Amino acid sequence: MAAPSNNVSLRITDDEIALLDARVGVDGARSRSDVIRMAIQQFLQGQPLLPGMDSIRIPLGHGDKMLLGQLYELQGTTPELAAQEGLSLYIEQAIKSRSEMTQQLDELLAEAKSSTIRREEYHE
């Protein structure tokens, strides 16, 4: 038996109603109310666990969704964990790449300076 529910009034634009109607029939939603309930649940479940944390949403295509499902079945890796590990790897690579680029620029700058600095024999 379904839990008792409350009726809530909500003002939304015609464009938002059209977007709601487009989601009816998708992912088991049978009505606008179902779509709104699903959106609220998804929003609340996606909230950070601790103060100072933030969350992001990542749209997934069908192929990525399938592969993530297989990864979960094989290794127990959740999509959230996979995304978090992927983000960490991306940041690590970006920092390493930037560090290497900075080092190369520093070397080029030192080389350029050494070729343009006046030599002692030219000073009076």
Residue 4 is assigned to a structural domain of this protein: no
pLDDT value, residue 124 = 58
Residue 82 is assigned to a structural domain of this protein: yes
Residues 50 and 68 occupy one common structural domain:
no
What length does the chain have? 124
Which pair of tokens denotes residue 56?
A: 């992001």
Domain count, the chain: 2
- Alpha carbon distance 35, 13 (integer Å): 16
pLDDT at 122 over 90: no
- Alpha carbon distance 36, 27 (integer Å): 12
pLDDT value, residue 76 = 94
Quick one: DSSP state of residue 50? S
- Alpha carbon distance 116, 41 (integer Å): 65
Residues 70 and 108 occupy one common structural domain:
yes
Residues 73 and 113 occupy one common structural domain:
yes
Question: Is 32 in contact with 21 (CB distance < 8 Å)?
Answer: yes
- Alpha carbon distance 21, 35 (integer Å): 9
pTM of the model: 0.51
Domain that holds residue 24: 11-55
Residues 17 and 38 occupy one common structural domain:
yes
Residues 44 and 78 occupy one common structural domain:
no
Note the pLDDT tens digit of each residue in 13-35: 999 999 999 999 888 889 999 99
Note the pLDDT tens digit of each residue in 62-117: 999 999 999 999 999 998 899 999 999 999 999 999 999 999 999 999 888 888 76
pLDDT value, residue 46 = 74
More confident residue, 61 or 116: 61
Residue 123 is assigned to a structural domain of this protein: no
The pLDDT of 38-49, averaged and rounded, is 83
**CA nearest to 49, candidates 91, 88, 84:** 84
